[in-house]
Structure formats: C-alpha cells, structure tokens
C-alpha cells in the first residue's frame, strides 16, 4: 500500500557517498527532528530526471531551505556509485543529498514501485516528492505515468 499523508515514513536506510567511500544513512538520522523534502526519480542520468527534476531542486535548494527545510534529498533505485556520479555530473555539491535505494527496498516499503522493464530498467521508483516533518508525511505528490509537474521543485516550494 502506498504511503499517505499523516503516515510515519518507513524505517530503512539509504546508500550515500562520503569522503571515505560508500556509507549508509538511516531514516532515523535523516528524518528525526527535521523537516525534509525528499524527491524520487525513476533513474539517474535519464532525460526528465537530468534535465528538469534534479536541476530544479539544485536551483531552488536555497529557497526551499529558507522555508525551514533542513535537507533536500534525491532518491532513486540506483547504486551509491551511480548516484554519486550523477550528483557530481549535475554539480549538486551539498545542495541535494543523493540517496541510493540500490535494491529498491525503501521504494517497496513506501509502496511506490514502478515496473520499468518495458524500458529495460527493471523495478524502479515512481517519480514523486514528499515533505516530511519529524518523520511524518505532511505532503505527498506522485506523478502519473510520463508526467512531471506536481513533484517539481517549484510545486514543492509553493507547498512549503
């Protein structure tokens, strides 16, 4: 079942790249006592994700943080090395935390799976954006197939 507004975010962890190499961050560390904007993309280096979604959050990160957001995170069913390379390619630096859901476990826990096998991508995550207050979903916008709008940085900025 898909997570809903008012639900607590599932427990889990994401892969992140540190100066010492791959590491993990738990949802407790990421969400507890914080306001977080988490957006998800079907795949790193894919067209809409690379041209619109991630760049929008990179460009609006300062304005989003000015609304009281502690962390802006980008999640995808990709490994930590791909997420790190994509973040470097896009020049996100510290503006967006690149979160790898390598096996899609967190995607499944949220109930936002996407079967992209028709595109040769296998199991992925739907495109969405969620605002999380101290681990609880306060806003959730999931895009329809092939759509991009309600999960954009501009749309989330308006909700904050």
> Parallel, antiparallel, or unpaired for β 123-125 and 71-76?
unpaired
Helices (H), 91-143: 105-110
d(CA 75, CA 78): 8
Strands 35-40 and 71-76: parallel
Check 16, 37, 49, 153 and give the catalytic one.
Answer: 49
- What is the total residue count of the chain? 160
Integer Cα distance of 45 and 51 in angstroms: 9
Active site residue 49: yes
Q: How many CB atoms lie within 10 A of CB 6?
A: 9
Residue 111 CA to chain centroid, in angstroms?
Answer: 14
- Catalytic residue numbers read 49
């Amino acid at each position: 079942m898909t997570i809903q507004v008012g639900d607590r975010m599932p427990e889990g962890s994401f892969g992140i790249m540190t100066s010492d190499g791959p590491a993990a961050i738990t949802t407790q560390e990421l969400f507890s006592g914080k306001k977080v904007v988490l957006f998800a993309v079907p795949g790193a280096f894919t067209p809409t994700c690379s041209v619109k979604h991630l760049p929008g959050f990179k460009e609006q990160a300062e304005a989003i943080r000015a609304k009281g957001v502690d962390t802006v995170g980008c999640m995808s069913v990709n490994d930590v090395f791909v997420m790190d390379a994509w973040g470097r390619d896009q020049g996100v630096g510290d503006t967006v935390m690149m979160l790898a859901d390598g096996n899609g476990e967190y995607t499944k826990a949220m109930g936002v799976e996407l079967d992209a096998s028709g595109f040769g991508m296998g199991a992925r995550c739907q495109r969405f954006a969620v605002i999380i207050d101290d681990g609880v979903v306060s806003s959730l916008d999931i895009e329809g197939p092939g759509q991009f709008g309600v999960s954009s940085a501009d749309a989330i900025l308006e909700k904050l």
